[in-house]
Amino acid sequence: MIDRLFSRRRVAHLLGAALFAAAGATATAQAAEKVTIGALRFTSSAPLFVAFERGYFADEGLDAEFSFFQAAQPVAVAIASGDVDFGVTALTGGFFNLASKGALKVIGGHFHEEKGYDGSAILVSNKAYEAGFTSVDKFPGHSLGMTQVGSSFHYMAGRIAEAKGFPLSDITLLPLQKVGAIIAALKSGQVDSMIIVPHIARPLDRGGAAKIIGWVYDYAPYQVTTLFTSTNNTESKPELVKRFVKAYQRGIADYRAVMLNQAKDPAATEEMTKLIHKYVYADRPYEKAAPSIKAGAIYVNENARLDVGDVKAQLEWFQAQGFVPGGFDYRAIVDTSFVEAYNLPK
């Protein structure tokens, strides 16, 4: 009788413990903080996709979701308004204007132009190429399609003009809002040129739809994209930001280990390419999408290191063009407390 009573009590105790543990697990799951990530469906966003698909955000107690955009500037607006928590896109005039008001902070690096790795390609239309636009020196007198005035495309055109010694006004800049519209205009010969990431540029060149005549890394050092968030997050939720950055860095490490040396482990390359395909060229069969995704493997800074000197150069260029007010410098918009900073201005 005593043994039976003990057994019943033992079972009840174990059941209670199990229910308590289950309730604890449920509470933990419910406690995951929701974060929304603003991104473009580019191969350059791949480390984020890797971190999400492999559960790295979940490991940090984050319930992450993506919000996709057609251009970089709207991502900055969405973060400033609180609709999005983190963004990985290029810095633009719109970004710097919002940052000047104290709304945004750059907290990490991402895609960086690096010789030896495909980066931003300079493409010309077949029509323009056949008419003699065969090198970057021949940019003056030709048109360039871009998303918006003050975009990263605008900035890259300016840096190329500076490097080649001609005024930016010698290029006719045509804002077409969306990358798809620029590609269509390039193919039809309505614009003479565009600057774009390799997963788009390489197939256009290889398929005979346009010609690559150069690469941006030959003309300017460039921290093309950065990780940024709201100032409210860096000041009020620094632990949340640290957890996000930790997951993001794991995604970068996985990406760099595979996609920057694809011949080292073909099986791992195939696995990661399939993962990226869920987000990039998802409307195409994998067999057709895979070559473009692999060709679009851009250089991403290790551990999200941030090239602060180049962020400074970008801000000063936008200020010199009149797109961004003066009266503040890079220190007002960069927070170096989350990742390693390098190329620090003296």
- Beta-bridge partners for 194: 123
Q: Is the distance from CB of 342 to CB of 307 less than 8 angstroms? A: yes
- Beta-bridge partners for 18: none
pLDDT confidence of 13, banded at 50, 70, 90?
A: low
Distance CA 114, CA 147 (A): 24
* Residue 30 confidence (pLDDT): 54
Q: What is the pTM of this model?
A: 0.85
The torsion angles phi and psi of 250, rounded to 5 degrees, stand at -65, -40
Query: How many C-beta atoms lie closer than 10 Å to residue 17's C-beta?
Result: 10
- Beta-bridge partners for 69: 40
pLDDT digits (tens, 9 = 90+) for 275-290: 999 999 999 999 999 9
Report the sign of the C-alpha dihedral through residues 301, 180, 279, 296, in that order: negative
Complete edge-to-edge strand list for the sheet that includes strand 62-69: 62-69, 33-40, 86-90, 225-230, 104-109
Name the residue with tokens 């019943």: 8
What residue ranges define each of the domains in the chain, with the CATH number in brackets?
33-112+223-342 (3.40.190.10), 121-218 (3.40.190.10)
* Residue 70 confidence (pLDDT): 86
Residue 19 sits at the vertex; the CA angle it makes with 18 and 22, to the nearest 5 degrees, is 85
pLDDT digits (tens, 9 = 90+) for 115-137: 989 899 999 999 999 999 999 99
Which residue stretches of 112-197 are H helix? 126-130, 152-164, 179-188
Long-range pairs for 289-294: beta carbons < 8 A, 24 or more residues apart: 291/203, 292/43, 292/199, 292/200, 292/202, 292/203, 293/43, 293/199, 294/259, 294/262, 294/269
- Smallest CA-to-CA distance from 229 within 65, 82, 51, 48 is with 82
- Beta-bridge partners for 300: 111
What totals of helices (H) and strands (E) does the chain contain, helices first? 14, 12
Which residue stretches of the chain are H helix? 2-31, 46-53, 56-59, 73-81, 93-100, 126-130, 152-164, 179-188, 198-206, 231-236, 238-259, 266-277, 286-295, 308-320
Residue 225 sits at the vertex; the CA angle it makes with 200 and 283, to the nearest 5 degrees, is 35
- Beta-bridge partners for 67: 38
Give me the amino acid identity at 5.
L
* Residue 31 confidence (pLDDT): 74
pLDDT confidence of 139, banded at 50, 70, 90?
A: very high
Of the listed ranges 9-13, 28-32, 125-129, the least confidently predicted one is 9-13
Distance CA 199, CA 291 (A): 9
- Beta-bridge partners for 122: 195, 214
Q: Is the distance from CB of 280 to CB of 42 less than 8 angstroms? A: yes
Query: How many C-beta atoms lie closer than 10 Å to residue 37's C-beta?
Result: 25
pLDDT digits (tens, 9 = 90+) for 188-242: 999 999 999 888 999 999 999 999 999 999 998 899 999 999 999 999 999 999 9
- The H or E element containing residue 116 is none
Given a cut of 70, whether residue 24 has pLDDT beyond it is no
Given a cut of 80, whether residue 8 has pLDDT beyond it is no
Residue 314, CA distances (Å) to 40, 68, 152, 178, 244 in order:
21, 24, 9, 22, 25
